[in-house]
Amino acid sequence: MTIQWFPGHMAKAKRQVIEKIKLIDIVFELVDARIPASSRNPMVDEMISNKPRLILLNKADMADPSKTKEWIDYFQQRGDRAIPIDSQSGKGMKQIVAISKEMLQDKFDKMRQKGVKPRPIRAVIVGIPNVGKSTLINRLAKKKIAQTGDRPGITKAQQWIKVGKELELLDTPGILWPKFEDEAVGLKLATTGAIKDTILNLQDITVYALRFLSNQYPDRLKDRYNLQEIHDDIVITFDEIGKRRGCIMAGGIIDYDKVSELVLREIRSEKLGPLTFESPAEYE
C-alpha cells in the first residue's frame, strides 16, 4: 500500500488521530523495532497530548535483540514504557494488558473511589503505514478485523473490539505519516520496506544498506555473498555480489538494479539475519 502524504492528508490524519485519542485511556504507539526512531511520527507527542502511552516495538523478530534491548532502555529512561512484540506470532502480546493495567492503576482506583462502575481499559493503536497495526489488531481480536491497507480519510463508526475482559480496542488504528524530510530516515524506511522503493532511487537505497551492513554487520555481509573482504568502495561490493549472483547484462556488465533488488529483498526477508538500522546513541 502506498499513501501519498500531502499536507492535506497529514492534517486530516492528524484530526482523525486526535478524535480517536479523546475516546481512550491509553495509546499503543507501534514502531518498527528495526528503526524505532525513524518509524515514529514527529508530531505524535502533540497529538496524544498527555494520555498515557505504551510504545510497542513491533517486528522484534526481525530486529537485532541486543539493539532492541538498548532501545527499550532508551525509551524507559525518557519516561516511556516500551516492550518488544511480534504481532505475527503473538510474542510479547500478553504483556500489553498487564502493563496497561499497571499504568492506569491510579486513574481506575480514583474512578472506583468516586463510585464509577468498573469498565475495561480503552485503547487505540497508532503508527505509520506498514508498521503492523492491522496485524496487531487482528491478533488481539483473535479474528480478522482491520483491513490491511486501511487508509486515512475513510471514516466509519468507531467500534470497540474486546480483548479479554480487561481491554477494549478501537477497531481502526490511528494512521500517522512517516518523516520524509530527513534523507537518512527515508533511506531506513525504504530499506525496511516501510515505504515503496519507487519513492527513492533503488540504487541509492542499496548503497545506503550496503554501507550500513559493511560498517555494522560486515561478517554477515561477507558470509551471505561469499565476499573475501569488505571494500571502502561500495561499487566493488556491488560488482562482487553481481558476479556471485549472476546479475549480469549482455557484454558482462553488472546489472546494478538487479543487485539492488536482490540485496533489498534478502535484507527484508531476513536472509542476513535480524537487523536493526539505528542505535539510541545516534539520538542521545
Binding site for ligand G4P (CB under 6 A): 58-59, 61-62, 86-88, 127, 129-135, 148
Nearer to ligand G4P, 134 or 237 (CB): 134
Which residue's CB atom is positioned nearest to ligand G4P? 132
CA 84 to centroid of chain Cα atoms: 11
Coil, helix or strand for 246? coil
Nearer to ligand G4P, 52 or 132 (CB): 132
Least distance CB 61 / ligand G4P (angstroms): 5
What gap in Å lies between CA 120 and CA 167, rounded to an integer? 5
Nearer to ligand G4P, 138 or 214 (CB): 138
Nearer to ligand G4P, 38 or 58 (CB): 58
**Which cell goes with 52?**
498515557
| Spatial CB neighbours of 255, under 8 Å, sequence gap ≥ 6 | 242, 247, 248, 249
What gap in Å lies between CA 262 and CA 80, rounded to an integer? 38
What gap in Å lies between CA 55 and CA 73, rounded to an integer? 12
Least distance CB 233 / ligand G4P (angstroms): 33
Nearer to ligand G4P, 120 or 193 (CB): 193
Least distance CB 85 / ligand G4P (angstroms): 6
C-alpha closest to that of 206 among 180, 229, 187, 223 = 187
Nearer to ligand G4P, 145 or 227 (CB): 145
Least distance CB 147 / ligand G4P (angstroms): 9
Least distance CB 38 / ligand G4P (angstroms): 15
What gap in Å lies between CA 39 and CA 57, rounded to an integer? 10
Q: What share of the chain is helix, strand, coil (3-state, %, to 5)?
A: 45, 15, 40
- Going by the DSSP 8-state scheme, the letter that residue 217 receives in this structure is -
Nearer to ligand G4P, 105 or 148 (CB): 148
Least distance CB 170 / ligand G4P (angstroms): 13
Least distance CB 152 / ligand G4P (angstroms): 11
**Start-to-end C-alpha separation, the chain:** 33
**Which cell goes with 110?**
480514583
**Which cell goes with 226?**
561469499
Handedness of CA 107, 109, 112, 118 (dihedral sign): positive
Cα distances (Å, whole numbers) of residue 41 to 127, 176, 201, 210, 219? 8, 6, 23, 26, 33
Least distance CB 115 / ligand G4P (angstroms): 39
Nearer to ligand G4P, 87 or 100 (CB): 87
